[in-house]
């Protein structure tokens, strides 16, 4: 019997591609894990509140204020013109209108553009005040009878206050309907 021998010349493992491919997969996972750990420890996302319980209570108070506005039958129409805003407020019969209103104009992405305006009553149900020019875009209008941070209102019963919201795309919409939201 003649046996045929073949001379197979094998390369060492480190010169072949498959071992390096198989080693690279776990190494990529290790590098990605280290990068994720570094990003998580060096950046602050600002989303987690230290006092989530108080924030939850504040949400309940806001909902109560919206319900109060709905119960009073409040509705408002705001008109934004060059450097001024005028609000016409109406209420169901038997509800008194306040002497002044607070309008907070909120930009959805740039808090530096937000404005807080005290609106004085001109005549029954009509309030006005001066504002800085507003950029084009979507704005949220929040109308309240008091500010939550105001010192003289700290003693006022929170159950007597109300709040309403409206949204407008400026400059296309210059008249904004402000009503108790459905939240």
pLDDT, tens digit (0-9, with 9 covering 90-100), for 10-20 = 888 888 899 99
Residues 90 and 165 in one domain: yes
Q: Mind listing the pLDDT tens digit for each residue in 98-149?
A: 889 999 999 988 888 999 999 999 988 899 999 999 999 999 999 998 765 5
Residues 19 and 100 in one domain: no
Residues 99 and 166 in one domain: yes
The 10 Å CB-count burial string (b at 16+, else e) for 63-75 is eebbebbbebebb
Q: Tokens in use for 23?
A: 């080693």
Tell me what the pLDDT averaged over the chain comes to.
85
Q: Mind listing the pLDDT tens digit for each residue in 87-98?
A: 999 998 888 888
Cα distances from 182 to residues 11, 63, 122, 176, in angstroms, run 73, 10, 30, 17
Residues 134 and 86 in one domain: yes
Given a cut of 90, whether residue 62 has pLDDT beyond it is no
Is 2 contained in some domain? no
Residues 93 and 165 in one domain: yes
Q: What is the pTM of this model?
A: 0.65
Structural domain including 35 reads 15-39
Residues 35 and 82 in one domain: no
């Amino acid at each position: 019997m003649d046996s045929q021998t073949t001379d197979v010349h094998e390369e060492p493992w480190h010169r072949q591609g498959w071992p390096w491919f198989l080693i690279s997969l776990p190494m990529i996972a290790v590098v990605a894990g280290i990068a994720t750990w570094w990003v998580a420890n060096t950046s602050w996302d600002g989303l987690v509140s230290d006092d989530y319980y108080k924030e939850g209570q504040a949400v309940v108070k806001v909902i109560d204020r919206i319900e109060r506005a709905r119960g009073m039958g409040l509705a408002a129409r705001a008109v934004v013109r060059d450097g001024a805003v005028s609000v016409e407020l109406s209420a169901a019969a038997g509800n008194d209108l306040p002497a002044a209103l607070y309008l907070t104009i909120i930009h959805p992405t740039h808090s530096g553009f937000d404005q807080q305006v005290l609106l004085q009553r001109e005549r029954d149900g009509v309030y006005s005040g001066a504002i800085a020019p507003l950029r084009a875009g979507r704005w949220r209008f929040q109308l309240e009878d008091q500010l939550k941070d105001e010192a003289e209102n700290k003693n006022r019963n929170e159950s007597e206050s109300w709040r309403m919201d409206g949204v407008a795309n400026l400059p296309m919409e210059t008249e904004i309907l402000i009503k108790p939201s459905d939240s």
